[in-house]
Amino acid sequence: MTTSDAARLLGVATSTVQLWMESGAIASWKTPGGHRRALMSSVLRMTRPDQSAAAPGPWSGAAPAAEFTMLAEPPYPVPEREQARLSALAALQLVPSAAEERFDRIVRLASLVTDCPIALITLLTAQRQWFKARVGLKAGETPRAWAFCTHAILQREPFIVEDASQDARFRDNPLVTGAPKIRFYAGYPLVGVNDLALGTLCVIDREPRRLKSRELQGLEDLARMAMRELSTPPRG
């Protein structure tokens, strides 16, 4: 099937199908002329989310479609191509999915490299900040409107808040005024296909602080590793 054929079958934009093909959510190949093609069976799989959610595997359930539809008036800042970003995240089928050692290892290393008690791999849907991996934090998600990471994905450099209690953007945030009492935050955007940031690798401390240059470099290197892992589907 061509991308246009697949888009008509799925009822989405051709650009969305292209994102799904490029991310691997729809198995595809390129013709000698450089055009993408996909098997009809791969495309039809995208129309049956209930079956994939019910099938045996390491994760259970599936995020509702509203999770990946941009809000008409989001109560938080959004990137310029927010809907394309949400579509790319949906295509990965990682929200929700079970914990995986390949991601747990990265957050453990991020915590050690920066000497921060909390490290997270976050994925941002329209409604929530969901943690694919975490250390030092019991909660598995927060509302998107509370997420420091929603600011981090607006740029391609590390997003750093040295003391959230003194920052007008965050001092009244429930994650600052209440548990886990965030003071320091540093996050690297996890940038995938077509320069779309799906979430972050971030570290958090309960005390104001700064990172050394070597700590920032280590966090960046681990963020690149995390993005490579995110480009592959959940593993059993």
At residue 4, the pLDDT reads 83
At residue 158, the pLDDT reads 97
Contact indicator for 191, 197 with CB cutoff of 8 Å: yes
Q: How confident is the model over 199-221, as pLDDT tens digits? A: 999 999 999 999 999 999 999 99
Contact indicator for 129, 147 with CB cutoff of 8 Å: yes
State the Cα–Cα distance between residues 127 and 142, nearest whole angstrom. Answer: 9
At residue 50, the pLDDT reads 36
- 105 has pLDDT over 50: yes
At residue 34, the pLDDT reads 82
- 111 has pLDDT over 50: yes
pTM of the shown model:
0.75
State the Cα–Cα distance between residues 178 and 117, nearest whole angstrom. Answer: 17
Q: Which residues contact 114 (CB under 8 A, 6 or more apart)?
A: 186, 203, 211, 215, 218, 219
At residue 37, the pLDDT reads 86
- 45 has pLDDT over 90: no
Place of tokens 């007008």: 168
- 117 has pLDDT over 70: yes
Q: How confident is the model over 141-179, as pLDDT tens digits? A: 999 999 999 999 999 999 999 999 999 999 999 999 999
- 114 has pLDDT over 50: yes
- 29 has pLDDT over 70: yes
Q: How confident is the model over 69-97, as pLDDT tens digits? A: 999 999 999 999 999 999 999 988 899 99
- 58 has pLDDT over 60: no
